[in-house]
Amino acid sequence: MSTGTDLVKTGQNAIRRVRFLPPGPSVGDIEVNTVRGIRDRGGPHEFLTPQRLDFDLFVRIEAGAAVHTVDFTDHDLGPGDVLWVRAGQVHRWGRIDDLEGTVVMFAPHAVDDRTRDLVRAALVRPRSHWSAVDLEDTPVPRAVDLLTLATQPPAPGDHELRQAALAHSLAAILAHLALVEPGGSAPSDGPTHEVYTWFSDHIEEHFRSWHKVSEYADRLGYSARTLNRLARQHTGRSAKELIDERVVLEAKRQLSHEDTPVSVVAEQLGFDDASNFSSYFRRQAGMTPGEFRDWSRGRRTDFDPSPSRGAP
């Protein structure tokens, strides 16, 4: 993780963009460290503001407790828990001084394409947090131990072999995580349909300009009805709801962590009129953009956004 980071815009909640810069030539696309190690390297101020990472962050808590926020969802972390923050997500550390554990930072391409695609297909609604209870009697804790063992200094000339060992160990951890069902949830009823995966990828690529299901249907060559059926099959939500979720999530990120005017946020998200955007946001989030900005920064407490309306 780079200790030289970039701050977005201004304001006390500005997003800190953190780049993946290996600390030395012996570290490739995967760095295995500890919470204490990154805390000492980053310094006391590195972890106070929201961060948007250009790499994936994996943390296994070994001691302590704290609340970690990923895209407006709070996760209570305790010993044995695992956290996975993906590149591009906005997250905020809680009391990092109260935590100890293993930290893995890796470029998304460090995991082979097949494993990455299988994990993404299995985690249709991406998770960030697995509790110790979720991971009981699974291979995940032992797989993390194997990864840490693979970081032992290699003999001269063995650098590429060590990188391969790290990559395979990391891929095994993520694959095992994808097999873990959340406590109380029903088992998956089958593999993710490839058309749904294409639709999901297209949302991520085009949500700033395409807000209608028909636009995605036209590009993919499938009917809007098919996209709706697959969306409900895999997520319980309609295709339009998934598009709206992504638009609103990005709006919330900018409104909460940046001082960009609402009119500019509207333009960046493909709305030709700020008032149209404000009406849309209010329908989805239960408050206006300005009200959400004040609420997210603690200036208003008289709102209670419903997680079922536009929340990620």
Residues of the chain with pLDDT under 70: 1-14, 23-26, 153-157, 182-191, 299-312
pLDDT of residue 65: 96
pLDDT of residue 13: 53
pTM of the model: 0.81
> How far apart (Å, rounded) are the C-alpha atoms in residues 283 and 289?
11
The fold of 194-296 is: Arc Repressor Mutant, subunit A (1.10.10)
CA nearest neighbour of 175 among 140, 125, 149: 140
> How far apart (Å, rounded) are the C-alpha atoms in residues 308 and 312?
9
pLDDT of residue 161: 82
pLDDT of residue 4: 41
pLDDT of residue 205: 94
pLDDT of residue 198: 92
pLDDT of residue 123: 82
Residue ranges of the domains in the chain? 6-178, 194-296
Residue whose structure tokens are 């106070």: 48
Q: What is the largest CA-CA distance in the chain?
A: 63
pLDDT of residue 80: 96
Hey, what are 181's tokens? 């069902």
The fold of 6-178 is: Jelly Rolls (2.60.120)
Decide: helix, strand or coil at residue 246.
helix
Q: Do domains 6-178 and 194-296 have the same CATH topology?
A: no
Helix (H) and strand (E) counts in the chain = 12, 11
